[in-house]
Chain A
Amino acid sequence: MIITNVETVPGKKIVAHFGLVSGNTIRAKHVGRDLMASLKNLVGGELKAYTQLLSESRRQAVERMTAQAQQLGANAIVNVRFSTSSVAQGAAELYAYGTAVRVE
């Protein structure tokens, strides 16, 4: 599955599109990470646990979007956008959406 965030897949021709596809994920951290983060707040530096949490969320969101595109019969997703919001305390929510297309 080719994923791009420009309008086309460079070097290929889009022959058909299937409309919007999206993938959504919401993950929470556990108390261990929370405590470590509060401690890190005092000394500064990268919060590796949170970085890992967010990249996991991103990966899962894109995975779900890909799965939905595959169900429609597409082989590429173009013009992908990410959106995030805070809906729950201490949870990272990520939404990825794009247009499923068939390229040749």
Chain B
Amino acid sequence: MYDLLLILGLIALGYFSGTWVEKRHYRSIIQRETELLPLPAVTFKTMDYAPETIAGSRMVTGSAVISIDYFKRFLASLRNIFGGTVKSYESLLDRARREALLRMKAEARDADIILNVRIETASIGRTAHRRSVGCLEAVAYGTAVRLKKTSAAP
């Protein structure tokens, strides 16, 4: 009986705290994205820059580890029975990746563009033991290119 109450308590805790944390995180993400919007991040490797305009380049990375709360995990296991989109995990993955991208962009504030951006995701934590709650890691990396400050635009 107590085990059942414990599970229900964890689920309720997961729901309330998870929802609050998520809302807060999204607000922060949207605010920073708007702020960093002038810095483009693209997946292609080459841009039509003349070699003399390039001041420097370096690799930049950003990563974020977001944990999965019990409520989302419970919903996912229920969803496993019936099939379909696991809606509870979508926001989790979205937040993790956007956060990683933002951190990468923040590291390259002085750059003009970030080329060849790649995003990798991994599930870490004790994923073998189903009972425990795992975490999600998202890594974004790319090459930040700085252009010489001239009056002409690229």
In whole angstroms, how far apart are the Cα atoms of A22 and B82 in the complex?
A: 27
Interface residues, chain A, with chain B CB atoms under 8 Å away: 7-8, 17, 19-20, 22, 24-31, 33, 60, 78-81, 83, 85-91, 93, 95, 97-99
> Chain B contacts of A79 at CB under 8 A?
42-45
Tell yes or no: B84 within 8 A of A by CB. yes
Tell yes or no: B132 within 8 A of A by CB. no
Please tell me if the beta carbons of A26 and B80 are within 8 angstroms of each other in the complex.
Answer: no
Closest residue of B by beta carbon distance from A32: B83
> Chain A contacts of B85 at CB under 8 A?
25-28, 60
In whole angstroms, how far apart are the Cα atoms of A17 and B114 in the complex?
A: 13
In whole angstroms, how far apart are the Cα atoms of A20 and B36 in the complex?
A: 13
Cβ of B84 to closest chain A Cβ, rounded Å: 7
> Chain B contacts of A99 at CB under 8 A?
42-44
Cβ of A22 to closest chain B Cβ, rounded Å: 7
> Chain A contacts of B123 at CB under 8 A?
85-87
Contact code string B87-108 (vs A, CB < 8 Å = 1, else 0)? 0011011100100010000000
Looking at chain A's contact residues, the main secondary structure is: strand
> Chain A contacts of B45 at CB under 8 A?
7, 79
Q: A87-B93, A95-B97 are in contact. Are A28 and B83 (CB under 8 A)?
A: yes
> Chain A contacts of B120 at CB under 8 A?
83, 85
Please tell me if the beta carbons of B43 and A97 are within 8 angstroms of each other in the complex.
Answer: yes
Please tell me if the beta carbons of A28 and B46 are within 8 angstroms of each other in the complex.
Answer: no
In whole angstroms, how far apart are the Cα atoms of A27 and B120 in the complex?
A: 19
In whole angstroms, how far apart are the Cα atoms of A85 and B85 in the complex?
A: 15
Please tell me if the beta carbons of B42 and A91 are within 8 angstroms of each other in the complex.
Answer: no
* Given A29-B83, A88-B73, A95-B119, 14 other A-B residues pairs in contact with their CB atoms under 8 A: A19-B41, A20-B41, A20-B42, A20-B101, A24-B90, A25-B85, A26-B86, A26-B90, A30-B82, A60-B85, A81-B43, A87-B68, A90-B80, A97-B119
Please tell me if the beta carbons of A30 and B136 are within 8 angstroms of each other in the complex.
Answer: no
Contact code string B58-86 (vs A, CB < 8 Å = 1, else 0)? 00000000001000010011011111111
Closest residue of A by beta carbon distance from B83: A30
Closest residue of A by beta carbon distance from B121: A85
Q: A7-B45, A27-B84 are in contact. Are A17 and B40 (CB under 8 A)?
A: yes
Please tell me if the beta carbons of B44 and A7 are within 8 angstroms of each other in the complex.
Answer: yes
Cβ of A19 to closest chain B Cβ, rounded Å: 5
Please tell me if the beta carbons of A24 and B94 are within 8 angstroms of each other in the complex.
Answer: yes
